[in-house]
Amino acid sequence: MEAVDAFSRALGLSPDGSVPPTYAAVYALGTTAPQLFSDPLAEVDLGRLLHASQEFEWSRHPTIGERVEARARVASDITRRGARFISLETEVRGAERNDPVCVSRALFVIRGSDA
Amino acid sequence: MKELTVTFSRAQIEAYARASGDLNPIHLDDAFARRVGLPGVIAHGMLQMGLAARVVGGGARLRRLSVRFAAMVQPGDTITFSAASEGERIPIGAHNQSGQPVLTKAEAEIAPEPGRA
């Protein structure tokens, strides 16, 4: 509750008991992307990491206090003109009913050292 | 057309960093940001997207939101977000004080209101 309210306030919203749609940044991306970025095998330099594009598709929006489960996969990882592009797809389901909540498609770019 | 104009501040970026858990120093530490070739700290793309979602609205009927982060946003930049006030597929605009788009290919889909489907 406090976490969602703080998120709402950071977007300039008055907390109203609902979960702002882009709180998916926390329950879809925040649960999965750091695991990838902190994995030494992925060789991601945080300082060179930028978010290039983002899509969320919701089957429904979660409610405050609800537990959800997120599962992500690297859909692609390519290097083009010195920059590396990583596409991360995350599927979020309700923990209680295992029903679909949200699909997140993130594209990250890791700039080359001269970019 | 609905509009929302926001001048980004360090305080807002820091608040978003804490609230979202994305504490990458490129958003918080000017010296670090410059060392990695950025002009200084930049706002989270997801903060921009959150503000875009605000201007779209739709509440629980929001079904899809997609954006491309086209330009960096720094503290002091003033961004105007805009969205059509009606429709199911809603293009979103986001431009800085120079008129440069900071979000492109930005679009929302909203489910029809119950009873109007």
- What ipTM was assigned to the predicted interfaces of this complex? 0.94
Subunit contact A61:B54, Cβ cutoff 8 A: no
Q: How close, in Å, is residue B45 to chain A by CA atoms?
A: 6
Subunit contact B66:A55, Cβ cutoff 8 A: yes
Interface test with A, best of B41, B63, B103 (most A CBs within 10 A): B63
Residue B71 and residue B84: Cα distance in Å, rounded?
22
pLDDT in the model for residue A115? 45
Subunit contact B65:A22, Cβ cutoff 8 A: yes
Subunit contact B36:A58, Cβ cutoff 8 A: no
Residue burial B20-59, b: 16+ Cβ < 10 Å; e: rest: bebebbbbbebebbeeeebebbbbbbbbbbbbbbbbbebe
Q: Among partner residues B32, B46, B60, which is closest to A51 by beta-carbon distance?
A: B46
User: H or E segment at A86?
Assistant: strand A83-94
Q: How close, in Å, is residue A60 to chain B by CA atoms?
A: 7
Answer whether B41 touches A (CB < 8 Å): no
Answer whether B55 touches A (CB < 8 Å): no
Q: Which residues of B touch A64 (CB under 8 A)?
A: none
Which residue ranges form the domains of chain A, and what is each CATH number? 24-110 (3.10.129.10)
Exposed, middle or buried, A35 (CB in 10 Å: 0-12/13-18/19+)? exposed
Q: Which residues of A touch B83 (CB under 8 A)?
A: none
The answer to whether residues A39 and B41 touch, using CB atoms and an 8 Å cutoff, is no
What number is the average pLDDT over the span B3-19? 98
Interface test with B, best of A4, A13, A22 (most B CBs within 10 A): A22
In eight-state DSSP terms, residue A25 is I
- Fold observed for domain B2-110: Thiol Ester Dehydrase; Chain A (3.10.129)
- Closest CA relative to residue A85, chosen from A111, A47, A105, A103: A111
The answer to whether residues A94 and A62 touch, using CB atoms and an 8 Å cutoff, is yes
* Paired tokens of B57: 């609205």
Q: Tens digit of pLDDT per residue, chain A (115 long)?
A: 799 999 999 999 999 999 999 999 999 999 999 999 999 999 999 899 999 999 999 999 999 999 999 999 999 999 999 999 999 999 999 999 999 999 999 999 999 875 4
pLDDT over 90 percentage in chain B: 91
In eight-state DSSP terms, residue A28 is I
Strand partners of residue A73: A89
Q: Which residues of A touch B49 (CB under 8 A)?
A: 22, 25, 54
Q: Indicate whether this model's pTM tops 0.90.
A: yes
Q: For strand B2-7 and strand A68-80, is the pairing parallel, antiparallel, or unpaired?
A: unpaired
The answer to whether residues A108 and A90 touch, using CB atoms and an 8 Å cutoff, is no
Residue A94 and residue B64: Cα distance in Å, rounded?
18
Q: Where are the domains of chain B?
A: 2-110
